[in-house]
Amino acid sequence: MYNYKVAGIISWIICLSINAGMGQIVINQNDLPSTGDTVRVSNGSILPGLDYTTTGPSSNWDYSNLQWVTQDVDTFVSVTSTGIVYSVVFANLPFNPNRANLAKINLLAPPVPQITIDNAVGFYYKTSSVFEQAGYGAEINGLPTAVPFDDRDRIYNLPLTYGDLDSSNSSYAIGLPGFGYYSHEQKRVNSVDGWGSITTPYGTFDAVRVKSTITGRDSIYIDATGFGFGFNTPVAREYKWLGTLKKLPILQINTTANFGNEIPSGIIYLDSLRNNTTAVEEYSIKVESQLYPIPANYTLHFTLNSPSEQQGTLTIYSTLGKRVTESLQVHLIKGTTYISLDEMIRDLPNGYYLVNLELANGNIQKRLMIAR
């Protein structure tokens, strides 16, 4: 007699084995960045019709048609190597409420109106059970300033497995003499809503997907006016595909939502070195801003170590890779060249942009923050 009960159990076991073979993975602390890691990523342009919402078990996500615009190398260092101001505040000591054991240089810090934020460093705490941001440090209006979070941003609960759901609240405040006070608070809700295989221009990998929904509120008080106000920030979402030993998401798509419309605001993915995308090593570039008078005056400062003069083309892109200004032909002299961006950015809203200088022997890219 055919035993349907036994046959059903066998079929169930076979299905589990097939699913396991299709790439259902678990993400733990070894799959996230550690001190000494350097990871190359591409900032991509989002093509019309890009699907970032489809998910679930045994998914096949195909993003092989992504197009890079610029590249960065994310670098992770020890807390003690970031300088005395930061390493004291974020010292990795058991009794320290701001404790961190990992730092990321060249952090893209959130813009704050009327405040210049340069050379930001992110500070993180990673254990077998959590990966969270303890705060950041930056040159704020020219002064190195540590900004510890009163409540940490819990980016991941570990280990990450399909079906996990968690939330956390975080907050921080910045007080600046002569300016006033700025604070930010937010709630992060994480959902591990899919697993399967993802394909990007970098390759095909097993992955789990994490969807993070972030709601927040900013408060600002200005000493000069004796006036303060608060406002809710647009709902932000991060769609992240993580793989074993990849350190950073294989792909991350960021969006913002206003009045129910979700709009992509950035895309980053792991990548190999692409031709003509890295900064020419004999040049350095810095964006300097002057806060007053209002609106801010921005000056792009190039320092050249080349023995000859150079002709170049300067263009500003959105973080989606869309050109947002007309190209400017520039003549760079030997030594230091100053180029004003005032006219180029006059009509651009606040936010982050990519400044690209095209030269005969390569490109130089730099992030630009506009916060009037």
Domain residue ranges of the chain, discontinuous segments joined by +: 29-270, 283-370
Cβ atoms 277, 71 nearer than 8 A: yes
Could you tell me which residues are beta bridge partners of residue 134? none
Cα(333)–Cα(293) distance, integer angstroms: 29
Average pLDDT over residues 334-348: 79
Band (pLDDT 50/70/90 cuts) for residue 320 is low
Average pLDDT over residues 328-356: 79
> Closest by alpha carbon to 153, among 181, 184, 187, 178?
187
Condensed to tens digits (0 to 9), the pLDDT of residues 167-184 reads 999 999 988 777 788 899
Burial of residue 166 (number of CB atoms within 10 Å: 0-12, 13-18, 19+): middle
344: DSSP letter: H
Residue reference for tokens 């073979």: 21
Give the largest CA-CA distance in the chain. Answer: 91
13: how many CB neighbours lie within 10 A of its CB? 10
Where does the chain show beta strands of DSSP type E? 38-45, 59-62, 67-77, 102-105, 117-126, 130-140, 143-157, 165-176, 180-200, 203-222, 227-242, 251-258, 261-270, 283-290, 297-304, 310-318, 328-332, 336-340, 351-359, 362-370
For 291, the token pair is: 């806060």
Whole-number pLDDT of residue 370: 73
Whole-number pLDDT of residue 1: 46
Cβ atoms 293, 276 nearer than 8 A: no
Whole-number pLDDT of residue 266: 84
Could you tell me which residues are beta bridge partners of residue 73? 40
150: how many CB neighbours lie within 10 A of its CB? 14
Band (pLDDT 50/70/90 cuts) for residue 284 is low
Phi and psi at 82, nearest 5°, equal -90, 0
For 175, the token pair is: 């007080």
Residue 277 scores a pLDDT above 50: no
Residue 78 scores a pLDDT above 70: yes
Whole-number pLDDT of residue 127: 97
Condensed to tens digits (0 to 9), the pLDDT of residues 84-107 reads 999 999 999 999 999 999 999 988
Percent of the chain with pLDDT over 90: 46
Condensed to tens digits (0 to 9), the pLDDT of residues 183-206 reads 999 999 999 999 999 999 999 999
Condensed to tens digits (0 to 9), the pLDDT of residues 244-268 reads 999 999 999 999 887 778 888 889 9
292: how many CB neighbours lie within 10 A of its CB? 8
For 157, the token pair is: 């609960």
Residue reference for tokens 């961006």: 341
Could you tell me which residues are beta bridge partners of residue 286? 301
16 SS3 class = helix
Band (pLDDT 50/70/90 cuts) for residue 114 is low
Condensed to tens digits (0 to 9), the pLDDT of residues 325-340 reads 888 888 877 777 777 7
Condensed to tens digits (0 to 9), the pLDDT of residues 217-238 reads 999 888 878 888 898 988 999 9
Top-confidence residue, 108 or 18:
108
Top-confidence residue, 75 or 140:
75
What is the homologous superfamily of the domain 283-370 according to CATH?
C2 domain (2.60.40.150)
> Closest by alpha carbon to 134, among 107, 102, 163?
102
Average pLDDT over residues 268-278: 76
Q: What is the pTM of this model?
A: 0.75
